[in-house]
Amino acid sequence: MTQQFYVSPEQLMKDRADFARKGIARGRSVVVISCGEGIALVAENPSPSLHKIGEIYDKIAFAAVGKYNEFESLRQAGVRYADVRGYSYDREDVTARGLASVYAQSLGAVFTTEQKPFEVELAVAEVGASQEGDHLYRLTFDGSIADEHRFVVMGGQADKVSAAIEDGWRTSLTLAEAVRLAMGGLVRPAAGAAEPAGAAAPLPAGALEVAVLDRHSEATRGARRAFRRLNDADIAALLT
C-alpha cells in the first residue's frame, strides 16, 4: 500500500491557485468598460466564431479569459440559469448579482473539490438605466467575487492594461472612446514587451471581438435585449 504524504491545506490551496493563475496569465486580455451609451466589452480574439464574450440575458453579458472549454460550459450554464429563472418568475427578476453569486459558488466548489481548478476568470456585466445603475462583477478561479466600478480587466497582462485604462477613464466616455481606450490598453503592454515603446501598432479590427450592452436599446433599436455584437465593419466605423 502506498503511503500518502502529508500536504498542509495552505500548501494545497496555494498550489492550486498558482496552477490556475499560470493558465490564466497565458491568455489574451479582455476589457469590460462602462461608458455613457452602455457597457463595452472588448477582447483580443483572432477567432471570429469562438467567442470570449456572450449574451446571457436582456441586460446581462458575460466575458471570460482562460480555457475555452471551461468558460464555455460556464457561459452555457449561465444562459440556462437565466432563462429558467426568467421563465419561471419574470424577465425582470434575472439580475447580474444572482448570476454572479451562482458562478461564485460553482467556481468555489470546483476549486475545492475537483481534481483541478478552472483556469478561468469571468466578468458579469449588467447595464442599468443610468451609469450609476451599471453592475460589473469579477469572478476568479477560486470563487472570489468582486463588485467593480467603471471597468474590469482580466487575463494575461491585466495589471498593465488596467493601469492604461485607469489613466484614460472618464464618466462621460462615448462608446467609440471607450472601445478606443480599451484597444489602447490592450495594445500597449504587448508592444512594450516585444519592442521599445512608441512602436505600438493598433490591433486590426479582425483581431478584436467587441460587443456592447446598449443602455437605451428599447429606444434606439426597439429591442429588449441590450446585447449587440459588432462585426469588423462596425468596429472599423466606430474607430474612424
Q: Does 80 bind other proteins (CB under 8 A)?
A: yes
| Residue 84 near other proteins by CB under 8 A | yes
Q: CB of 123: closest distance to other proteins in angstroms? A: 17
Choose among 26, 222, 30, 20: nearest CA to 125: 30
CB-nearer residue toward other proteins: 35 or 208: 208
Q: Which three cell numbers stand for residue 171?
A: 464618466
Return the CA Rg of the chain: 19
Starting at the earlier edge strand, list the strands of the sheet with 145-148. 53-57, 60-66, 120-126, 135-139, 145-148
- Find the shortest distance in angstroms from Cβ 57 to other proteins: 8
Site string for other proteins, 50-79 (x = CB under 8 A): -x--xxx-------------------x--x
How would you list the strands of the sheet with 208-214, edge to edge?
A: 151-154, 30-35, 38-44, 208-214, 227-230
- Residue 14 or 221 with smaller CB distance to other proteins: 221
Residue located via cell numbers 472570489: 144
DSSP string, 62-125: EEEEE-HHHHHHHHHHHHHHHHHHHHHS-GGG--HHHHHHHHHHHHHHHHHHSSS---EEEEEE
**Closest approach of other proteins to the CB of residue 84, in Å:** 6
Which SS3 state, helix, strand or coil, does residue 39 take? strand
Burial of 54 (0-12, 13-18, 19+ CB in 10 A): buried
Q: Nearest approach, Cβ of 48 to other proteins (angstroms)? A: 11
Nearest CB to other proteins, comparing residues 77 and 163:
77
Binding part of the chain for other proteins, among 39-47, 80-88, 119-127, 144-152 by CB under 8 A, reads 80-88
Q: Cβ 131 to other proteins, closest distance in Å?
A: 26
Interface positions, 216-235, toward other proteins (CB under 8 A): 225
SS3 143: coil
Nearer to other proteins, 190 or 235 (CB): 235
Choose the binding region for other proteins from 1-9, 18-26, 81-89, 113-121 (rule: CB under 8 A). 81-89
Stretches 37-45, 85-93, 171-179, 200-208: which one binds other proteins (CB under 8 A)?
85-93
* 86 makes contact with other proteins (CB under 8 A): yes
- Type of residue found at 198: G
Shortest Cβ distance from residue 64 to other proteins (Å)? Answer: 15
Footprint on this chain of other proteins (rule: CB under 8 A): 49, 51, 54-56, 76, 79-80, 83-84, 86-88, 225
